[in-house]
Amino acid sequence: MATFIQEPAHTFNEYLLIPGYSSAECIPANVSLKTPLVRFRKGEEESPITMNIPLVSAIMQSVSGDRLAVALAMEGGVSFIYGSQTIEQEAAMVKRAKSYKAGFVRSDSNLRPDDTLADVIELTERTGHSTIAVTNDGTPEGKLEGLVTSRDYRVSRMSADTPVRDFMTPFERLVWAPEGTTLKDANDIIWEHKLNQLPIVAADGSLCYIVFRKDYDLHKQNPNELLDESKRYVVGAGINTRDYEQRIPALIEAGADVLCIDSSEGFTEWQKRTLAWARGKYGDSVKIGAGNVVDAEGFRFLAEAGADFVKVGIGGGSICITRETKGIGRGQATAVIDVCQERDRYFRETGIYVPVCSDGGIVYDHHITLALAMGADFIMLGRYFARFDESPSNKVSIGGTYYKEYWGEGSARARNWQRYDLGGAKKLSFEEGVDSYVPYAGSLKDNVLLTLSKVRSTMCNCGALTIPELQQKAKLTLVSSTSIVEGGAHDVLLKDKNAAVK
């Protein structure tokens, strides 16, 4: 007979936290969100990689590129650059993120001199950026020919087919600085010449970076930024169970700080072999997470195989249809609780703490706090980060409202067969994800600050100033479907925010 678990599997939305005693010290400003990313032993001061916030970005084409990796590291988290691309492309993304210098921005809005005003308008609408570098070949590293800003053109008075060279500010009229200029000197030049941006140019005339006036204060406002020993941003990257013997060395050489096996199901021989190969070649120097699993047995398997952290969650993602197509998975809250209990047992038995990552099932910000209270050390988010300027997907306008494209790794668009690999043919036999849109939400920084302010506030309600303290003190209660309805606005007529006040 099959094993039957009679207790229903629950989601985050079926739980609430019960407030605990809050002392005078329990104010959001005193809350620490530091959390371990990779395994450590009892008695060690902390994990080899400790994040300043409990958020990482999903290993997805529409979520985690090098721009988001930098933006999230600035806030204290880690992005896992997607692995469903060539080894060379992924390594290049990692290298760009690792070589990023605070204040020195690699231009991501570029055109050629023979492009037109129509191209300028399309690019600014797509990226939201008003400064465009004009290079000889339209690449970020091409020879700098000039700059275009919003002050250089008037849409109402110019033809859409006007060449960029006719209205750009040419190189000979630009104030620029040579490669090797320090950030302090660059900012001094900006202030001295009353500039909004300063190109940094190599000896051969190629564009290196652009330093922006608006970034001056921004770099004073990142007290949580996550840096390695060389003061570079910490960056993660995804791997698979097929080409790991080639991909892992390339990513390590590119500078990746931590890797993660990107798979829909982690309780497999393939992940065990991948971890064994990495341990045999690199020992414990290379940090690799594994998953996904949904029960204690799956966690124990990966922990014993050498995983540095374990991801929990099957079928709970907003673009995942694995449960519908294959009938496997588990309610995310129940899965997190079960796995975290096993993590604690494993720690008591072995003295090795293997962090747990909750991956999927997050709909509202308070679900993050619930996942942490249930035992998760950090949360992996896809839809959440896909909404931001820094994600790799396109921003599109539908019915006058802006959205960002968001698609699953198991969708026909991504066709990331390696993520769903169970051996055999190298193909995606059927879809396990969808192609969709998510409402555009602006910058990562603003949204992460808002989300974490909610987390800190709720922790104070529970009388906790750290994540381990929250996990120790939290009291959680299951709620009925009627209680869930009661928790939102009800029995009132909501005002239309767009209606005129009379």
Residues with a known catalytic role: 320, 419
Task: Write out the two tokens for 241.
Answer: 């169970």
Residue 20: what are its φ and ψ, rounded to 5°?
-115, 180
Strand bridging mode 378-381 / 356-359: parallel
Q: How many residues does the chain have?
A: 502
Residue 298 backbone zone (phi > 0: left; psi -120 to 50: alpha; other: beta): alpha
Instruction: Report d(CA 204, CA 238) in Å as an integer.
Output: 36
For tokens 């080899």, the residue is: 48
Instruction: Report d(CA 136, CA 140) in Å as an integer.
Output: 10
Strand bridging mode 50-51 / 40-41: unpaired
Torsion of CA 241, 243, 246, 250, to 10 degrees: -70
Calculate ∠ Cα 96-452-232, nearest 5°.
Answer: 25
Residue 119 backbone zone (phi > 0: left; psi -120 to 50: alpha; other: beta): alpha
| Beta-bridge mates of residue 201 | 178, 207
3-state secondary structure of 424: coil
Burial of 165 (C-beta count, 10 Å sphere; 0-12/13-18/19+): middle
Q: Where are the beta strands (DSSP E) in 122-280?
A: 132-135, 144-148, 169-170, 177-178, 197-201, 207-212, 236-239, 258-261
Instruction: Report d(CA 251, CA 94) in Å as an integer.
Output: 7
Residue type at 401 in one-letter notation: T
Order of strands across the sheet with 132-135? 110-111, 132-135, 144-148, 169-170
Instruction: Report d(CA 287, CA 177) in Å as an integer.
Output: 39
3-state secondary structure of 318: coil
For tokens 């969709």, the residue is: 436
Instruction: Report d(CA 257, CA 152) in Å as an integer.
Output: 42
